[in-house]
């Protein structure tokens, strides 16, 4: 009887833990655009639950309100949250893994923190390339000191998918275009992975023009990249990240799990670029259906 009572006590406590809620301080790097979209969806999904967004502020706000949990959107917002005098649990979103890890290393502040990265899992990226360019097997990647550590997982994922990953270092701006030219001569396409030291606003145009001269497509990681002239991108929308964030909060509360990548994704294709390069590629919906059906890409 005593064991049975203990079991029910533990069961009730577990229910209470999952049902417990509180206030959320939402810190945005900017008020509009992707950050505004994220904020609106997060508030909508959590409405009616035990959790509520008690404040929505920008990263340049002078003061931060107290809360049970902090959700940040973007790099500037995370820096602001880590500058608080108190240490509430933090969920960082809408930033690449390298930015998250660099900011944590700069602050070295103890506390409970997790993240939902924007970076697509390597296996999903490899599956995407198989669907997008099924006749091609060799793809190129530029890396720097910021992204070199991710190469083993990409090599393994590409190998598992029957693809070859070719790599060139581009640690300096002077090395960028020579490395790119060398890489494009050996590969079918450039696969861009988030790297702030390589892909910047002031050199994206030069990268895309160089690739076009080689008649090689660029596979980006955001819709903006595709609009600028990349052939396609596998990415996760702010709405999808917001829903994943809400699911995390409802399932775990302040018992934060380990950082992870996005569990949902979207596909963007620039049909004008495909036509200019003489490429026939499946449409966005067809690729997405194929990836959802591919267990390895989930």
Give pLDDT tens digits for 160-207.
999 999 999 998 889 999 999 999 999 999 999 999 889 988 999 999
pLDDT one-digit tens code per residue, 32-48 = 899 999 999 999 999 99
Tell whether the model's pLDDT for residue 52 goes beyond 80.
Answer: yes
How many Å apart are CA 31 and CA 298, to the nearest integer?
31
Residue range 122-231+270-297, CATH number: 3.40.50.2300
The pLDDT of residue 14 is above 60 = no
Residue with tokens 């450039």: 190
Percent of the chain at pLDDT exceeding 70: 92
Judge contact between 101 and 123, C-beta under 8 A: no
First to last CA, the chain: 45
Can you list the alpha helix ranges (DSSP code H) found in 74-172? 75-82, 97-107, 122-132, 151-160
Q: CB under 8 Å to 83, separation ≥6 — which residues?
A: 107
Write phi, then psi, for 90 (nearest 5 degrees): -125, 135
Nearest alpha-carbon partner for 120 in 286, 298, 242, 289? 298
Contacts of 152 (CB under 8 A, 6+ apart): none
Q: How high is the pLDDT of residue 110? A: 66
- Of 19-33, 91-105, 150-164, minimum mean pLDDT range: 19-33
For CA atoms 284, 290, 295, 297, the dihedral sign is negative
pLDDT higher than threshold 80 for residue 78: yes
Q: Is residue 136 pLDDT above 80, yes or no?
A: yes
17: pLDDT strictly greater than 70: no
Residues 6+ apart with CB under 8 A from 192: 141, 142, 198, 199, 207, 218, 219, 220, 221, 225, 230
Distance (Å, whole) CA 161 – CA 217: 20
pLDDT score at 227:
96
Does residue 150 register a pLDDT over 60? yes
Contact 59, 260 (CB under 8 A): no
pLDDT at 53: 94
Same CATH topology for 22-116+240-252 and 122-231+270-297? yes
Domain 22-116+240-252, what architecture? 3-Layer(aba) Sandwich (3.40)
Domain spans, the chain: 22-116+240-252, 122-231+270-297
Report the pLDDT value the prediction gives residue 138, as an integer from 0 to 100: 97
Asked whether residue 65 carries a pLDDT value surpassing 90, the answer given is: no
The yes-or-no verdict on residue 13 having pLDDT over 50 is no
Contact (Cβ atoms closer than 8 angstroms) between residue 96 and residue 236: no
Q: pLDDT band at 223, cuts 50/70/90? A: very high
Q: What is the DSSP letter of 120?
A: P
As to burial, measured by CB atoms within 10 angstroms (0-12 exposed, 13-18 middle, 19+ buried), residue 86 is exposed
Average pLDDT of the chain to the nearest whole number: 90
């Amino acid at each position: 009887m005593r064991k049975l009572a203990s079991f029910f006590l533990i069961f009730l406590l577990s229910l209470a833990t999952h049902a417990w809620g509180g206030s959320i301080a939402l810190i945005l790097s900017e008020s509009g655009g992707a950050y505004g979209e994220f904020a609106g969806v997060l508030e909508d999904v959590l409405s009616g639950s035990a959790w509520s967004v008690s404040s929505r502020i920008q990263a340049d706000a002078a003061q931060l309100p107290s809360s049970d949990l902090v959700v940040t959107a973007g790099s500037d917002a995370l820096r602001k949250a880590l500058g608080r005098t108190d240490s509430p649990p933090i969920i960082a979103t809408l930033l690449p893994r390298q930015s998250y890890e660099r900011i944590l290393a700069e602050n070295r502040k103890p506390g409970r923190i997790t993240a939902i990265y924007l970076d697509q899992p390597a296996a999903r990226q490899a599956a995407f390339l198989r669907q997008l360019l099924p006749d091609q097997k060799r793809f190129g990647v530029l890396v720097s000191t910021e992204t070199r550590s991710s190469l083993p997982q990409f090599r393994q994922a590409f190998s598992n998918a029957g693809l070859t990953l070719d790599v060139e270092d581009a640690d300096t701006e002077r090395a960028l275009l020579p490395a790119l030219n060398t890489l494009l001569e050996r590969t079918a396409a450039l696969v861009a992975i988030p790297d702030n030291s390589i892909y910047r606003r002031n050199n994206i145009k030069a990268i895309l023009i160089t690739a076009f001269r080689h008649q090689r497509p660029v596979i980006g990681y955001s819709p903006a990249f595709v609009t600028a002239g990349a052939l396609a991108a596998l990415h996760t929308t702010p709405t999808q990240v917001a829903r994943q964030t809400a699911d995390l909060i409802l399932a775990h509360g302040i018992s934060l799990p380990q950082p992870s990548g996005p569990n949902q994704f979207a596909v963007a294709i620039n049909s004008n670029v495909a036509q200019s390069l003489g490429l026939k590629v499946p449409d966005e919906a067809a690729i997405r259906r194929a990836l959802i059906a591919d267990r390895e890409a989930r």
